[in-house]
Amino acid sequence: MARAIASEDASLLDSLGSIVDRENENLLPFGDFGIVALRDLYLKEIGAVRAGRDPKGVIRDEARNQLIVIPAWELNLTEAELAERNVARRPEHSPMPALEQGRYVEVDGIRTFYVHAGDGHPVLLIHGAAPGACSRVNWKLNIDPLAAARLSVYAFDQPGFGHTANPDDYSLEYRVAHARAFADSLGLERFHLVGNSVGAYIAARLGLEDPRVGRLVLVSSSVLAPKGSADANAMATSHSEELREFTPSRDRVRAMTMKTLFKTELVSEELVQERFAMSSGPRFEAQLKRRDAPPPRPIVDQLRDLRTKTLILWGSNDRGAAVERALLLFKLIPNAELHVFDRCGHWVQWDQADRFNRLVADFLT
């Protein structure tokens, strides 16, 4: 049974399993309040309880260990209350940006979350597997620009990530099957794929096995590429072990993200909070179970059989995927082109967002 917050312990927010915003059938994980502003809102609710007022905007579901944030336009808040909370009343019929929208579809019995934006040729964005990975975080700077380039963009959360339910099978093999089933559920006859890190492995598998795939964009994937030298192996192993031993806290998320990105000025408190929320609770449980899952099936020997045109994007400052592996991958795949960016880490789509969006849009349209 959900009840209004009555706790005076502000540290409760740190231990919550998840934060949920709702608007009818859409899930708004970070909503109008924003995950950073949510802490301030939470403290205001405590103040309201102390003052004997009924708190508005947030309820706590103790059974699910969640805060549920009610969108401001569902409340009868006065303009003064809205101003105090630093949110605006949503005008009737005003469109929400794609990143505020979310949808669900049943895929192989799993409630699967995705974001859709734009009209045109369909393209699926497939995130990686690091703690906190999900469609809203990994592709935040790319969904709307690619949609503006006349692509129909679908960014989905894999099983055990983001807002998609945890599966029974935590193997990467199952996530490949789920990605294929996700395309089936949308009724897509042809589609392009963009995959980052482990997501690039999933994209390449579909490129090899699914005749509906048009073009591939593969971004920074040590899992997919040939192993290369001892130095490249040591770099990848060290990075994998560090991620494997991750336990969620804001400080650890901040440190991890500082290594993910080259441009440390992009590591905002909002990004840290978002990634922390998406690495906690059920997502952390899924991370622990993935540790015991079988390793991915190597497909290096099959990459020469790829018949799709392929764009490979890599950061020269990636701390886990050596540029050497990008070159080896490029040599393996026919009809491929490779772009390596200086001053760029593992998330090319963040460190070089403008260039990434232009290159991908030009390649896919």
User: Which residues is 311 bridged to in the sheet?
Assistant: 217, 337
Catalytically annotated residue among 21, 192, 346, 351: 346
Length of the chain: 365
357: tokens are 């969006």
171 has catalytic annotation: no
Q: For residues 272, 273, 278 and 283, what is the CA-based torsion angle, rounded to 10 degrees?
A: 100
Cα(225)–Cα(353) distance, rounded to whole angstroms? 23
Catalytically annotated residue among 21, 32, 144, 318: 318
318 has catalytic annotation: yes
346 has catalytic annotation: yes
Catalytically annotated residue among 18, 197, 220, 280: 197
Torsion angles phi and psi, residue 154, rounded to 5: -120, 115
Amino acid identity, position 16: L
- Please, are residues 71 and 23 in contact by the beta-carbon 8 Å criterion? yes
Burial letters 277-314, b for 16+ CB under 10 A, else e: bbbbbbbbebbebbeeeeebeebeeebeebebbbbbbb
> Active-site residues: which are they?
197, 318, 346
